[in-house]
Structure 1
């Protein structure tokens, strides 16, 4: 894998490319769930991985909020308890109020007592985001978070993600197969193929001027007119 990119606080970077290009593996590497053979990962001035120096911070000590594709909620817990479960680092007397605040942030006030089975796909995704934010992360990782919801719900979630970015200032790294979604949400696109960074730039730059034919193929863009 030869991926290289950076994402500043308040910025959203989308990892795009064909299936098998390493997008989700990169998120797992950032979170410490996968250890690359060689590489370096740092966040907010802290080095989490440096294979040359022998640094490998365990996942529970990395300041990461991770929203998985299937949301990974505890089915036997309410929405409130799912979020509260991620607040073990806070004093016990603060956890309920903080969990309620986060659920309000993702527009789930009034649904705190519902379990995942009683929530729609979009509502489950919001709980997953609130739980990820409960860790007070230095970076938010989103692994195809909108793939399981219908197009109308997806549009609403896109709008809420934009609102969320104004409320929290942290790097956000999004994995998506939907190029329109990436162009709509991201400040920067990072085009990957077979674990290698091919091009980084704004959606307008990348789509208007692919750096190579390989980038064009990775994004499945139409061929230029002869």
Structure 2
């Protein structure tokens, strides 16, 4: 695994470096926001996972995350921060896939990195945007297909572009049970996990971005059920 750790506290970086070496992971360290963005820009496809401190000199972590997401919608980001307010978590998860509050134990961070890596099933092969005939799909309807193995989703045989890990997980949760209504709390538990104590607005923020990407390839398949939550429904989709 190749990691980019963006952390201004060199003691934390040195400590984590020892743990990364033990796991035989290759880690690069950036100590301020400006340096981090430059490193990422040089090789945006090189990184398997990024850990990002929210409090940084120069560009802060939120600015760095935003600039990284402008370059790559899919690189996994774990945000590290001493802040613990719900509003900070909601803002951070606009861009990040996981949120770890400082102080944290190195073993905990290693476990979260491994869990995220396994969940994503990171693939070296890149998609050309079209459905391959030999793909295996976890969800398949007349108009929609989703593969956990490749982390790809297709509507009307066109790939929904640049899905972040959390957007893919949301789409998988919803499409796995078409027309079933999920509350925001249920989606938080399924997608973010039992140990996430975030705000339900996090779900709304990710759904908004997911819908925008869906609409780039076809009609909207994520429906709002007012006063309750969201559901997946592609029954009215027509080939265009």
After TM superposition, the score normalised by the length of structure 2 is 0.30
After TM superposition, the score normalised by the length of structure 1 is 0.31
